[in-house]
Structure 1
């Protein structure tokens, strides 16, 4: 039985080749077909006999033409495309008997009509083109026809201008493999140039042994180095090279979060801005920020001369505390004027009535790197206290906290570069003398950053916050937060004053008759009376009392009353009225080294004089002359850093006066008129600063 060839369809009017003749189909039934015949009016042939015939063929059967890859045609020269279109017109006439632009009802030309085979049409087309001046053979037409049927229009174009070349030209494959190994060996080493890679490639080939491989020319090897090192920073930044090499090999996944605070990321980086710590003192600061992955809310950001573990804890406290509106901020920055669900949240926390338009988010998980600040015992304890899941990333994997990395970069491009003293991210991008520009002080810069976060960041459409049903629409962090609150019913629980004090570092001291002594400073309060010279009851600490303090403000401490329920007692530094502003450990230690035998009162006066001289500057006389009239460079720098880290006093309530504390002595009259020193109020976390006056 011969091979059965089933046509796609057999219908009346078609032309078939059968028994050596081209016949027309007159009728088709379920079992037989009626065909034309030269010797009789018609011929009835069974379908099984018709399909099994060796020369059976359906002629002029319409074929599905491939869609021309027009995009690939754009890579060909215009002349090659023009030639392909010219050939297409002739090939279509060979295949179908009519040119593609023929009008309906047009009869085929002689040699292309019914009864002519494809082979005969190819001979006719070759003779026709030769007569027109194109030397074409029938075999050439047949080759063009087969290419057109396989590849469409692209098969008729001349491929020589776009012929693909080998990726590395004539360079032997062993040389390519050896250079790739040399590049891989240098991932974690110091940066070397292309000459070393070429030398190392030759060494690797010699170490492998086997048949000797001839190295290409020096110029060819340098071109190979450029191709293989593209995007790897093999001869560039070592930090970037390691990051690229140890990054994720698989596609980046998407962490699914559905509620605010479900996953938050924290990181710290130097801010590319010079800051005027005090008159004539210029330095750089570090930015520590925390971002919510679900809403992209920048929940908190702090600027410090150097980030410490206590700063991370304070940042955590700011995240779960409402942002207070400050003097000078416009009303549109209020939460009541924003898209946040203010009325609904106000029923849960009355402090939100005077808050700014930034969400209060309680973290459930915090992702951080292995920096000393974030893996410290202090920060881990704060996370455990607030029942936060602490999740460090893998070492050398910054992509695992890509949201905070991108946010820190956005602060540099969207905020820092507009400030005076912008330094750029490296020395190559630094201008001439940025420290001589009109720089902001650190407290002023912190206030600007806080306002920028509320005004710009929280109300800017974010690329990562798209509506799944309408990808063209972008959400702002505030809009996304409001939508998530509606969807998941998230309720913020703001931090209380008790919790704020718990986040501060602790020390254990005895409560004596004169009070508590920490670093040669005496703190006292009438409420410490029941604790004086008594045991705290904590055996592990030998009866000492737990004292929490802020290292950036030594003006007060908080003592836990272990005997009376564990509440907090606030104690104030005894000589607070001698210093115009709160100052920290840095200034106190600096003066202690200069005056090791000085009394506590003299130390307080020295610190106050140091700050006065630093504030006055070189062109202004100090308020009170001292023996050393010329301030030392170290005094300037210590005073500037101390003043920079001092907390803002704009929201601090006034210091309550006590009848048990003696009033400050009247200053002795001097030849020069002294300005009145007004001590600033202290920040009391246990007092609600958002209540109505």
Structure 2
């Protein structure tokens, strides 16, 4: 039994095998040790008693997940107030979208969730990069601002207008949901050791906001179970309804996903923001219950009110927005006569004129350049900081931008608005169905029956007729070759 248990434990981290492989290994070990083995049927019964979990000979993903469980009883984290414990993490979304550079890839989602109320405090969808870009600090800043106060809120509404039209019930629903979003200030944030959360900017942001930073144990997702399970809820409740959905795993992935990817990165950000505010925050969750009514499921917004949540004390003098700017990623630039160049775009303002052609006097990484803060959710503005007067100057983009890129079709259809409440998921389905139907499909997809196009025939140049002697000579050679083959 000991050898069987050891071999079964080894297999939980290996490629899946059969029960006969385990019995073979046990027989080899027993032979080397000089031990006699019982009958084969007895070994199979003993192995069945040990392999009580279906994952022992099932999916590799399930086996690795169960092997990673802590060897103890599960203990539920008890929280008593909003913001006491906040969890933050990043993952790659299971959907193909069009990136700003024109490529079609899967983006990365970073978000924060409050454990007490299950409220999603802030989300950020970005192209996946090989290095950290201070996304954790940016999401933290978004979590501390009301949706209407975020610099990128105008871009969200503009993208939604492009998708659903300028009029309709969606606008009223979005504004009401944004006002109802709980404003929660984290006391502690639990993160893993990814590059987004081990950066200097994220640590400095937590210290500036007096937030405790708690690191999960390596390769232990159970240390932050709420944010991990939230990824699955986002995938099932929102992502799987989008065109270009990859299925969550290779054995569930469809074909020709690149051609069905009709959403841009900016549109995905806006749709996810809409879904979080209107759907997630107002959907009853099985884990949100009160002792006075244990059978009643509460929404994140209701749980916030039930725990006595209230608006945080507002700070004065615009300091809150200045703190948000301090959490944004920083770039160093010179001020040219035409303005400031950031990521290929030009930003300018009349107030920045005294700094044109001047050096900042900062050394090190700055090397005489000026501090510029960039908000990835608001690409039409950047913020210039004068370190001597601690003054922030807003620079607007002057480089013209084309309208929404036409993805091969003329996208003018607007879905019909339901008579009752605005159904976001249904509206998304109708819009993307129209875009996919109008988009030219690939005819070389190997998964579909191949229909070859008609190729026009081309007449070959006519040969001159052979002389009689030449024709008889060639016929004799052909007959000789056939006889040699038969022999």
TM-score when scaled to structure 2? Answer: 0.68
In the aligned structure 2, how far is the partner of 1:409 from the partner of 1:476? 18
User: d(CA) in 1 for partners of 2:305 and 2:74?
Assistant: 28
Equivalents in 2 of 1:558, 1:297: separation in Å?
A: 30
Residue 546, structure 1, aligned to residue 371, structure 2: yes
Distance 1:508 1:459, change over 3 A: closer
Q: 1:437, 1:222 → 2: CA distance?
A: 49
- Greater RCO (CA < 8 Å, at least 6 residues apart): 2
CA distance in 2, matches of 1:385, 1:553: 23
**1:370 equivalent in alignment to 2:193:** yes
1:331 counterpart = 2:156: no
Q: What is the CA–CA distance in structure 2 between the aligned matches of 1:256 and 1:241, rounded to whole Å?
A: 29
User: Which of residues 226, 234, 255 in structure 2 aligns to 1:411?
Assistant: 234
Determine the structure 2 residue equivalent to 1:491: 312
Deviations 1:186-226 (A, max 9, x none): 4444544434322322233345x3x6222422x65455445
Give 2:69's aligned residue. Answer: 247
Query: How many positions carry a matched residue from both structures?
Result: 387
Query: What does residue range 66-77 of structure 1 map to in structure 2 within 5 Å?
Result: none
Summarize deviations over 1:562-616 as a string: whole Å, max 9, x none: 222x11123456xx334437xxxxxxxxxxxxxxxxxxxxxxxxxxxxx9xxx35
Aligned to 1:447: 270
Counterpart of 1:122 in structure 2 is none
Displacement of 1:531 in angstroms is 3.5
User: 1: CA distance between counterparts of 2:250 and 2:116?
Assistant: 36
| Residues 618/429 of structure 1: CA separation in 2 closer, same or farther (3 Å cut) | closer
Contact 2:3 2:26 in 1 (8 A): yes
Match runs of 1:514-529 below 5 Å: 524-529=348-353
Counterpart for residue 105 of structure 2:
283
Residue 451 and residue 233 in structure 1: after superposition, are their counterparts in 2 closer, same or farther (change >3 A)?
Answer: same
Q: How does 1:613-692 map onto structure 2 within 5 Å?
A: 615-616=405-406
Q: Is the 8 A contact 1:362 1:493 kept in 2?
A: no
Task: Give 2:139's aligned residue.
Answer: 315
* 1:229 correspondence with 2:51: yes
Of the candidates 266, 287, 307, which is equivalent to residue 88 of structure 2? 266
1:362-416 CA-to-partner distances (Å, cap 9, x unmatched) read 2111112222222233322322232221111001211111111111111222223
Which is greater in Rg?
A: 1
Given that residues 366 and 391 in structure 1 are in contact (C-alpha distance below 8 angstroms), is that contact kept between their aligned partners in structure 2? yes
Confirm or deny: 8 A CA contact 1:267 1:290 kept in the other structure.
yes
Aligned mates of 1:428, 1:517 — CA distance in 2: 45
Q: How far off is 1:501 after superposition?
A: 2.0
- Name the CA distance, whole Å, in 2 between partners of 1:442 and 1:521: 18
| CA distance in 1: counterparts of 2:233 and 2:2, whole angstroms | 40
Deviation at 1:463, TM superposition (A): 1.5
CA change 1:224–1:378 in 2 (3 A) is farther
With over 3 angstroms needed to count, the CA separation of the structure-2 counterparts of 1:512 and 1:369, relative to structure 1, is same
**CA–CA distance in structure 2, aligned partners of residues 523 and 411 of structure 1:** 36
* Cα distance in 1 between the residues matched to 2:191 and 2:267: 28
- How is 1:418-429 mapped onto 2 (pairs within 5 angstroms)? 418-429=241-252
Change (3 A) 1:493 1:234: farther
Closer/same/farther in 2, CA of residues 198 and 458 from structure 1, 3 Å limit: same
Instruction: Quote the Cα distance in structure 1 between the aligned partners of 2:51 and 2:97.
Output: 39
SS in structure 1 opposite 2:224? helix
- SS of 1:383 mapped into structure 2: helix
C-alpha separation between the residues in 2 aligned to 1:491 and 1:401?
A: 25
Q: Which ranges of structure 2 fall in alignment gaps of 5 or more residues? A: 162-167, 411-487
> In the TM superposition, what whole-angstrom CA distance separates every residue of 1:532-578 from its partner, at most 9, and x where no partner exists?
455545455565432323467766543321222x11123456xx334
Q: Are 2:133 and 2:329, in contact at CA under 8 Å, matched by a contact in 1? A: no
Aligned to 2:124, which of 297, 302, 306? 302
The change in CA–CA distance for 1:187 and 1:416 in structure 2 (over 3 A counts) is same
3-state DSSP of counterpart to 2:399: helix
**Cα distance in 2 for residues equivalent to 1:554 and 1:490:** 29
For 1:318 and 1:186, the matched residues in 2 are separated by: 45
Query: Taking structure 1 as reference, are residues 533 and 439 closer, same or farther at Cα in structure 2, changes over 3 Å only?
Result: closer
Report the alpha carbon displacement of residue 453 of structure 1 after superposing the two structures with TM. Answer: 1.8
C-alpha distance after superposition, 1:161-202 (max 9, x if no partner): xxxxxxxxxxxxxxx210111122344445444343223222
SS at the partner of 1:212?
A: coil
Match of 2:393 among 569, 572, 578: 569
Taking the aligned partners of 2:298 and 2:314, their CA distance within structure 1 comes to: 24
| 8 Å Cα contact 1:264-1:291 kept in structure 2 | yes
Equivalent pair of 1:303/1:446 in contact (CA under 8 Å): yes
